[in-house]
Amino acid sequence: MQIIRAFWKTIGWSALVIILSAWSGEKINHVMALMPFENVDKIAHFGMYFIFTFLMMYDFNHFKSRSFPVIQIIIFSVATAVAFGGIMEILQSLPRLHRSTDIFDFLTNTSGALTAVIVYKPINLILSRITSNITKPPRNF
């Protein structure tokens, strides 16, 4: 239960990725036709796996009952995101989904995960400053 509480953001995002990946290709194509430029799906793939990896690293760093070495967090987070993205791409080849496996989607997922690692530290620093300012009690005048 403690792990679920600590990793609820990562688990919730994973569920959202699974739901979006399982959407019918016919519905996805209809939505994509409304977009103003081609390959907008690559932006979605990049963003989904960027957020997935970022949240996982964040959750690991804030997991109170155990401290993990940074390199271990990075390797585990990226490996999990890449494996998850690969599995999602393979599952999209199921005929019932009317979707297809795309190596460029997989590569975009991977680049989103790797970019999250690169920008994690500065973004986490900014988030820490924002949340510390929010949680400070107001000053008495």
pLDDT digits (tens, 9 = 90+) for 70-104: 899 999 999 999 999 999 999 888 887 777 888 99
Torsion sign across C-alpha atoms 104, 24, 50, 46: positive
- When divided into structural domains, the chain yields a total of 1
Q: How many other β-carbons are positioned within 10 Å of the β-carbon of residue 61?
A: 14
The verdict on residue 138 lying in a domain is: no
Instruction: Give pLDDT < 50 ranges for the chain.
Output: 141
| Cβ–Cβ under 8 Å, residues 99 and 93 | yes
| Cβ–Cβ under 8 Å, residues 77 and 60 | yes
Apex CA 83: angle with CA 3 and CA 2, to 5°? 0
The verdict on residue 6 lying in a domain is: yes
pLDDT for the residue numbered 67: 79
The verdict on residue 64 lying in a domain is: yes
| Cβ–Cβ under 8 Å, residues 79 and 60 | no
pLDDT for the residue numbered 29: 67
Domain that holds residue 31: 2-133
The verdict on residue 102 lying in a domain is: yes
Residues contacting 65, CB < 8 A, separation 6+:
2, 6
The verdict on residue 99 lying in a domain is: yes
Query: Containing H/E element for 140?
Result: none
The verdict on residue 139 lying in a domain is: no
The verdict on residue 69 lying in a domain is: yes
The verdict on residue 141 lying in a domain is: no
How many helices and strands in the chain, by DSSP H and E? 6, 0
